[in-house]
Amino acid sequence: MDWQGQKLAEQIMQIMLLVFAVTAFVAGYVLGSFQMMVLVYAGSVTLTGLITIPNWPFFNRHPLNWLDPSEAEKHPKPQVTVISKKKGSKK
Amino acid sequence: MHSFGYRLNGLLTFAVTILALMCAITSLSDNFNTPSPSAEIKIMNINWFQKQPQGHDEVSLTMNVSADLQSLFTWNTKQVFIFVAAEYETRKNSLNQVSLWDAIIPAKEHAKFWIHTSNKYRFVDQTGKMFADKIVLTGYSLPEEYR
């Protein structure tokens, strides 16, 4: 998933859970059954999980542009020279 | 939200938090329900009256209990526990409460009932003299000869 996709996944997850929670509560209250509320909610959590957790393609619409390996070889990484001070060394 | 496990964890945590909030709101919604139960207990007969070896008074009653408790059941009610208690005053204690009979009502359909029963639990008074000259039972209709 790319960055935009992650943000989208999180938003979808939060909104879906809240909407389905309200739906489940209203359904349970109208039907007069606590069990119905919990069942509807459990189903909706599973559905939300199926939509937001796996790495679907629509989450990857703004892919990151990694540098091509052949291009990277032309510009070698700068070497970091380490100057170590040895104690008691005479120069 | 960068990995499968991270998203799964976030989803489950959020879902359980919202579930807790939903349960709290259902408990609060019980306040909208104003129960109007009705019950009537009739003492049909006092079966026997004896003094136990330790000196305690004991009495056995037969009662008719009829009640309509359907309004007590909301969508958040699992079961209703009811009991019949005898309250009386003696010279030693100003208030005694003894449980005579109880029952569990699991569903609304069973909440309207009528039962003819003797007391389930022994009605014993620990201080010796339970009844002086008369038996006063508030709210119950007592047969004439015991009044």
Residue B71, pLDDT score = 81
Reading the block at residue A6, the tokens are 């992650």
Indicate whether B120 pLDDT > 70: yes
Between B131 and B11, whose confidence is greater? B11
Tell me whether residue A22 is in a domain: yes
Answer whether residue A75 is part of any domain: no
Q: Is residue A70 a part of any domain in this protein? A: no
Enter the ipTM: 0.71
Q: Using CA coordinates, name the residue in chain A closest to B16.
A: A45
Number of domains in chain A: 1
Q: Whole-model pTM?
A: 0.65
Domain-located, residue A79: no
pLDDT in tens, B16-64: 999 999 999 988 887 777 777 777 777 777 777 777 777 677 778 888 8
Share of residues in chain A with pLDDT > 90 (%):
21
Q: Is residue A52 part of a domain?
A: yes
Q: How far is A70 from chain B (nearest CA, A)?
A: 28
Distance, in Å, from the CA atom of A1 to the CA atom of A54, rounded to the nearest integer, reads 9
> Contacts of residue B76 in chain A, CB cutoff 8 Å?
34
CB contact under 8 A, B11 and A49: yes
Residue whose entry in the numeric block shows the structure tokens 């015991």:
B146
Q: From CA A48, how far away is CA B13, in angstroms rounded?
A: 13
CA–CA separation, B46 and B90 (whole Å): 19
Q: List the one residue out of A28, A40, A66 whose CA is nearest residue B75.
A: A28
Q: Which domain holds residue A16?
A: 3-63
Decide if A84 is inside a domain. Answer: no
Between the alpha carbon of residue B1 and those of residues A63, B14, B132, the distances in Å are: 15, 13, 78
Residue A25 included in any domain? yes
**Is residue A31 in a domain?**
yes
Tell me which residues of chain A have a C-beta less than 8 Å from any C-beta of chain B: 1, 6-7, 9-10, 13-14, 17-18, 21, 24-25, 28-29, 31-34, 37-38, 41, 45, 48-49, 52-55
Strands B80-88 and B96-105, bridge-based pairing: antiparallel
Q: What is the Cα–Cα distance from A4 to B99, expressed in whole angstroms?
A: 67
